[in-house]
């Protein structure tokens, strides 16, 4: 029975990555037509409504879910994720989905590197080697010193760092707060800050693009619901390697929908990063890290 649940969790995780990849494609389209802040703001409104709806279904209601022992930490998490989403969407519009996700795939390695100073975790030499290989893969993608370096390629690097910091603070918050509490603060803090930034930048949107905006919001809620179901069915350590399908599906959207090119250095760098990341995740589950 547990094996069946694990298989179901893996299938749902792959489906989740497909949903998130489609979101990235829609975000790229909308941010190419309108400003990023407004697009992310509307997306967060639906996200906040979703987390509030989940909180209302809890036995003791919203007040109990919102109660946290570390409000400053939870606010910092919410701000980091909102900033990361904005930076990522800007990267989609400037350098495309293929290259953005190839670089963004390095975030588990950044988490590994920063886990020592932030969480006090021990990282063994094998995972340090994986981190070094991952950053070598990033250099292959960035291609510095070859006359083809694009400074915009540093945008997904910043996105990966922000998401890694968000992940580390989420681990830190989990020591005192429940998953439901962290999820609630993620959605509400992001909605508040993005409303403050996005409302002054409001732009009229065409009817077809409102349809895409609605699709983006619905898939966002659906994707997060799927993610929750994944972790109900299987352990995070089992599911995490399959989360890399997000990069693969997003690249497919970039190539098929937006006619992005698959440059050799980007493919090679992405393979190095993914291999290093999978190895680091595997070692993290071993007794000798």
Pairwise CA distance, residues 139 & 137, whole Å? 5
Note the Cα 85 to chain centre separation in Å.
Answer: 8
Determine how many CB atoms are found less than 10 A away from the CB of residue 238: 15
Angle, alpha carbons 211-160-122 (nearest 5°): 140
Predicted confidence (pLDDT) per residue in 163-173, tens digit: 999 989 988 99
In a domain, 59, yes or no: yes
Q: Which two tokens stand for residue 137?
A: 């893969």
In a domain, 135, yes or no: yes
In this prediction, residue 289 carries a pLDDT of 47
Predicted confidence (pLDDT) per residue in 184-229, tens digit: 999 999 999 999 999 999 999 999 999 999 999 999 888 888 887 8
Q: Which residue do the tokens 């969407």 mark?
A: 89
In this prediction, residue 141 carries a pLDDT of 85
* Residue-averaged pLDDT of the chain: 88
Share of the chain above pLDDT 70, in %: 95
In this prediction, residue 226 carries a pLDDT of 87
Statement: residue 237 has pLDDT above 90 = no
Statement: residue 58 has pLDDT above 90 = no
Predicted confidence (pLDDT) per residue in 105-152, tens digit: 888 888 888 888 887 878 787 888 888 888 888 888 887 655 556 788
Share of the chain above pLDDT 90, in %: 48
Nearby residues of 33 by Cβ (< 8 Å), 6 or more positions away: 209
When divided into structural domains, the chain yields a total of 1
CB-based burial label for 265 (10 Å; 0-12, 13-18, 19+): middle
Predicted confidence (pLDDT) per residue in 36-50, tens digit: 999 999 999 999 999
In a domain, 289, yes or no: no
Higher pLDDT, 84 or 225: 84
Q: Which residue do the tokens 């991952």 mark?
A: 134
Higher pLDDT, 230 or 121: 230
Angle, alpha carbons 108-45-12 (nearest 5°): 45
In a domain, 35, yes or no: yes
pTM for this model (two decimals): 0.89
Which range marks the domain in which residue 200 is found?
A: 2-284
In this prediction, residue 80 carries a pLDDT of 96
Cα distances from 175 to residues 70, 172, 181, 186, 198, in angstroms, run 10, 6, 12, 16, 33
Statement: residue 178 has pLDDT above 90 = no
């Amino acid at each position: 029975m547990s094996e069946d649940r694990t298989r179901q969790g893996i299938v749902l995780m792959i489906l989740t990555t497909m949903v998130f990849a489609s979101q990235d494609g829609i975000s790229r389209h909308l941010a190419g037509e309108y400003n990023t802040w407004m697009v992310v703001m509307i997306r967060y409104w639906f996200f906040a409504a979703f987390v509030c709806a989940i909180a209302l279904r809890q036995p003791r209601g919203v007040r109990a879910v919102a109660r946290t022992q570390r409000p400053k930490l939870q606010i910092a998490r919410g701000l980091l994720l909102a900033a990361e989403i904005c930076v990522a969407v800007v990267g989609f519009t400037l350098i495309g989905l293929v290259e953005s996700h190839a670089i963004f795939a390095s975030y588990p390695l950044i988490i590994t590197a920063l886990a020592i100073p932030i969480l006090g975790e021990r990282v063994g030499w094998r995972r340090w080697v994986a981190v070094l290989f991952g950053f070598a893969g990033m250099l292959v993608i960035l291609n510095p010193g070859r006359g083809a370096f694009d400074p915009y390629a540093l945008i997904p690097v910043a996105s990966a760092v922000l998401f890694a910091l968000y992940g580390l603070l989420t681990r830190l918050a989990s020591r005192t707060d429940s998953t439901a509490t962290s999820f609630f603060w993620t959605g509400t803090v992001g909605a508040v800050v993005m409303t403050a930034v996005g409302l002054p930048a409001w732009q009229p949107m065409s009817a077809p693009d409102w349809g895409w905006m609605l699709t983006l919001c619905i898939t966002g809620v659906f994707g997060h619901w799927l993610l929750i179901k994944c972790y109900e069915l299987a352990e995070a350590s089992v599911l995490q390697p399959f989360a890399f399908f997000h990069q693969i599906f997003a690249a497919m959207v970039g190539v098929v929908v937006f006619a992005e090119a698959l440059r050799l250095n980007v493919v090679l760098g992405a393979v190095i990063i993914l291999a290093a990341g999978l190895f680091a995740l595997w070692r993290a589950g071993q007794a000798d890290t």
